[in-house]
């Protein structure tokens, strides 16, 4: 234990845990869930949220090589009010913000077998795949639950992080364990990932991923230092909007197999494999969304008043969809489409439009606050939310996003990951100053600002009458 004196064990009654209670049999309800943790100080213990979320209490054991021993010398009960898990944690999304902090009322007594470990700094980057990390845990490979460690390399998995949007970048351990068993297994959850280079915590184990050959998953600890030092410092979730607050937002439901922008990803999809995007209600007959949301689709469904039980769903065919003539799949500028409805929407207190800014309106005040609306999955389900942010001018966006960014026609806004990220695009950006539509969310790259299309330069195109092909005449 002198080699791993910073490792602790966590016991909680499984029947209370959000992550397990729905899947327990009657025989399992008295089962104790066991996880690993690490000691940050005499009163601070860090583990996974899924190990404690929902539990009325937890037991922390320390200074022990065998966590399953009933006669622990150090076994401290922690009540619910002293257990804080990340406010964005959801048991519905694997790995999402899966971290918790337990505060001990009775401080630990440090000794040769009980001690703490330091964390890396906030700016620490896991960017060297040849670096070796050591994984510690009380995994249940066998009984009794004996503390193990093994060395491994890691890899970043950016694509999987996007899939679990908006989960911070997950990392996976690679290679073979240096002793018996797998790198990470059940019971190792919450265990520390320690750099062999600097001897500090660089990650926290969150589970196993079957699609990567059973590799262990962990989150970089540097992303959670604010929460660890003060759980209350994490900003509250953006509010889930009421019917009236979201009345100018529509959804676009599209069969993915037809979308030109996603044809490689959906090559083997069928028509039931649908994608969901946001859109903006401009009038009783006009809907605005991104071009890439609808390009190639023979039909889409427009859904309004989606937050109520009286949602309206309208089928729109290709001839009702107009793509901006300057839009190209090779870039992001002019990524806008207008849908003209044949059946007029019935406006009421839950369905309405948003006013547009004037043609000469300029987004040139970096202190201006804009409200971003969109579907976000912070708490495990896609809810329509809004958050306030500031925007950056085109030159700054260009410096951050590189050659793919058209600074003449696009802008971007700053993003606080903790406040959430729109998971669907085509949602409105509304000025807090005049309560009018100033932009539309287009796209984002991982760990980069979000690209948006300013509305003012598009007003002529948006307002021009819809001309059907069979109505065109030569002069």
Asked if residue 188 is part of any domain, the answer here is yes
Q: What is the CATH number of the domain that holds 268?
A: 2.40.10.10
Backbone φ, ψ for residue 403 (5° rounding): -65, -25
Band the pLDDT of 58: cuts 50, 70, 90: very high
In this structure, the answer to whether residues 20 and 114 fall within a common structural domain is: yes
In this structure, the answer to whether residues 105 and 152 fall within a common structural domain is: yes
Asked if residue 274 is part of any domain, the answer here is yes
* Interval 329-386: pLDDT, tens: 888 899 999 999 999 999 998 899 999 999 999 888 878 889 999 887 655 556 788 8
Residue 418: is its pLDDT beyond 70? Answer: no
Residue 161: is its pLDDT beyond 50? Answer: no
Residue 30: is its pLDDT beyond 70? Answer: no
In this structure, the answer to whether residues 29 and 117 fall within a common structural domain is: yes
Asked if residue 118 is part of any domain, the answer here is yes
Q: What is the pLDDT of residue 196?
A: 92
Q: Which of residues 6 and 1 earns the better pLDDT score?
A: 6
Alpha helices of 290-415 — where are they, by DSSP H? Answer: 394-401
In this structure, the answer to whether residues 176 and 291 fall within a common structural domain is: no
Residue 35: is its pLDDT beyond 50? Answer: yes
What residues make up the domain containing 78?
A: 1-234
Count up the domains in the chain and report the number.
3
The sheet with strand 274-281 has its strands ordered as: 312-317, 299-304, 249-255, 274-281, 286-289, 337-340, 321-323
Return the structure tokens found at 96. Answer: 């999402």
Residue 152: is its pLDDT beyond 70? Answer: yes
Residues with Cβ within 8 Å of 5's Cβ and at least 6 positions away in sequence, in order, are 39, 63, 111, 112, 113, 114, 115
- Rounded to an integer, what distance in angstroms lies between the CA atom of residue 160 and that of residue 367? 35
Q: What is the pLDDT of residue 25?
A: 63
In this structure, the answer to whether residues 16 and 34 fall within a common structural domain is: yes
- Rounded to an integer, what distance in angstroms lies between the CA atom of residue 246 and that of residue 430? 12
Q: What is the pLDDT of residue 163?
A: 38
- Average of per-residue pLDDT across 134-159: 76
Please give the full DSSP string across 158-207, using - where no structure is assigned. Answer: HHHHHHTTTPPPEEEEES--SSSS-SS-TT-TT-EEEETTT-SEEEEEEE
Query: 21-25, 95-99, 269-273, 454-458 — which is least confidently predicted?
Result: 21-25
Q: Are 36 and 113 in contact (CB under 8 A)?
A: no
Q: What is the pLDDT of residue 291?
A: 94
What proportion of the chain, given as a percentage, has pLDDT over 90? 43
In this structure, the answer to whether residues 195 and 81 fall within a common structural domain is: yes
Asked if residue 213 is part of any domain, the answer here is yes
Which residues, in sequence order, are bridge partners of residue 6?
none
CB atoms within 10 A of CB 124: 18
Q: What is the pLDDT of residue 43?
A: 97
* Interval 249-301: pLDDT, tens: 999 998 888 888 877 776 676 767 788 899 999 999 999 999 999 999 999 99
In this structure, the answer to whether residues 333 and 395 fall within a common structural domain is: no
Q: Are 382 and 376 in contact (CB under 8 A)?
A: yes
Query: Quick check: bond before 345 cis, omega within 30?
Result: no
* Interval 181-214: pLDDT, tens: 456 677 888 999 999 999 999 999 987 765 445 5
- Rounded to an integer, what distance in angstroms lies between the CA atom of residue 58 and that of residue 475? 81
Helix (H, G, I), strand (E, B) or coil at 373: strand
Q: What is the pLDDT of residue 421?
A: 59
What proportion of the chain, given as a percentage, has pLDDT over 70? 80
Asked if residue 353 is part of any domain, the answer here is no
Band the pLDDT of 17: cuts 50, 70, 90: confident
In this structure, the answer to whether residues 259 and 208 fall within a common structural domain is: no
Q: What is the pLDDT of residue 241?
A: 82
Domain boundary among 340, 358, 388: 340
Three-point CA angle 5, 11, 16, nearest 5°: 150
Asked if residue 114 is part of any domain, the answer here is yes
Q: What is the pLDDT of residue 177?
A: 41
User: Which one-letter DSSP state was computed for residue 142?
Assistant: S
Residue 417: is its pLDDT beyond 90? Answer: no
Token pair 């337990």 is at which residue? Answer: 102
Helix (H, G, I), strand (E, B) or coil at 222: helix
Residues with Cβ within 8 Å of 232's Cβ and at least 6 positions away in sequence, in order, are 84
Residue 164: is its pLDDT beyond 90? Answer: no
Asked if residue 137 is part of any domain, the answer here is yes
CA torsion sign, 76 to 80 to 86 to 88?
positive
Q: Which of residues 347 and 215 earns the better pLDDT score?
A: 347
- Rounded to an integer, what distance in angstroms lies between the CA atom of residue 340 and that of residue 465? 10
- Rounded to an integer, what distance in angstroms lies between the CA atom of residue 3 and that of residue 149? 10
* Interval 219-247: pLDDT, tens: 889 989 999 999 988 876 666 788 888 89
- Average of per-residue pLDDT across 73-91: 89
End-to-end CA distance of the chain: 90
Domain boundary among 340, 359, 387: 340
- Rounded to an integer, what distance in angstroms lies between the CA atom of residue 429 and that of residue 183? 45
Q: What is the pLDDT of residue 378?
A: 57
In this structure, the answer to whether residues 427 and 325 fall within a common structural domain is: no
Domain boundary among 205, 234, 263: 234
Asked if residue 144 is part of any domain, the answer here is yes
Residue 176: is its pLDDT beyond 70? Answer: no
In this structure, the answer to whether residues 297 and 177 fall within a common structural domain is: no
Q: What is the pLDDT of residue 455?
A: 95
Band the pLDDT of 162: cuts 50, 70, 90: very low
* Interval 445-466: pLDDT, tens: 767 788 999 999 999 999 887 6
Q: What is the CATH number of the domain that holds 34?
A: 2.40.10.120
Average pLDDT, the chain: 83
In this structure, the answer to whether residues 209 and 336 fall within a common structural domain is: no
In this structure, the answer to whether residues 278 and 129 fall within a common structural domain is: no
């Amino acid at each position: 234990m002198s080699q791993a004196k910073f490792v602790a064990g966590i016991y909680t009654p499984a029947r209370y845990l959000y992550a397990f209670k729905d899947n327990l049999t009657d025989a399992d309800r008295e089962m104790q869930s066991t996880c690993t943790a690490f000691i940050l100080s005499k009163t601070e213990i860090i583990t996974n949220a899924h190990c404690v979320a929902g539990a009325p209490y937890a037991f922390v054991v320390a200074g022990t090589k065998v966590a399953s021993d009933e006669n622990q010398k150090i076994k401290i009960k922690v009540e619910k009010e002293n257990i804080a898990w990340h406010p964005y944690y959801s048991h519905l999304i694997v790995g999402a913000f899966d971290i918790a902090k337990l505060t001990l009322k009775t401080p630990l007594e440090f000794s040769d077998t009980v001690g703490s470990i330091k964390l890396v700094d906030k700016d620490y980057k896991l960017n060297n795949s040849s670096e070796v990390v050591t994984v510690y845990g009380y995994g249940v490979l066998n009984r009794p639950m004996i503390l193990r460690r093994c060395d491994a390399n890691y890899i970043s998995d950016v694509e999987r992080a996007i899939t679990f949007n908006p989960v911070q970048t997950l990392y996976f351990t690679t290679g073979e364990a240096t002793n018996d068993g797998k790198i990470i297994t059940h019971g190792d959850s919450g265990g520390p990932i320690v750099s062999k280079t600097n001897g500090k915590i660089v990650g926290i184990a969150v589970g196993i991923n079957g699609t990567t050959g059973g590799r262990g998953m962990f989150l970089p600890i540097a992303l959670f230092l604010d929460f660890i030092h003060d759980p209350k410092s994490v900003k509250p979730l953006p509010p889930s909007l009421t019917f009236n607050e979201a009345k100018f937002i529509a959804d676009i439901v599209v069969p993915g197999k037809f979308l030109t922008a996603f044809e490689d990803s959906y090559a083997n999809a069928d028509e039931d494999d649908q994608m969901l995007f946001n859109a903006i209600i401009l009038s009783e007959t006009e809907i605005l969304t991104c071009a890439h949301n609808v390009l190639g689709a023979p039909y889409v469904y427009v859904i309004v008043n989606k937050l109520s039980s009286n949602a309206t769903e309208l089928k729109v065919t290709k001839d009702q969809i107009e793509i901006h003539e300057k839009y190209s799949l090779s870039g992001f500028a002019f990524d806008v489409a207008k849908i003209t409805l044949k059946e007029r929407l019935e406006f009421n207190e839950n369905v309405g439009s948003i006013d547009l800014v004037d043609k000469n309106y300029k987004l040139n005040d970096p202190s201006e606050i804009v409200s971003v609306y969109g579907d976000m999955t912070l708490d495990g389900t896609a809810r329509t939310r809004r958050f306030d942010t500031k925007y950056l001018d085109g030159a700054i966006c260009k410096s951050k996003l590189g050659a793919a960014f058209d600074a003449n026609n696009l802008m971007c806004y700053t993003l606080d990951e903790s406040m959430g990220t729109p998971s669907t695009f085509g949602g409105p950006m509304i000025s807090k100053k005049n309560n009018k539509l100033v932009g539309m969310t287009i796209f984002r790259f991982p760990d980069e600002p979000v690209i948006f299309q300013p509305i003012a330069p598009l007003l002529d195109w948006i307002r021009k009458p819809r001309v059907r092909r069979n109505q065109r005449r030569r002069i």
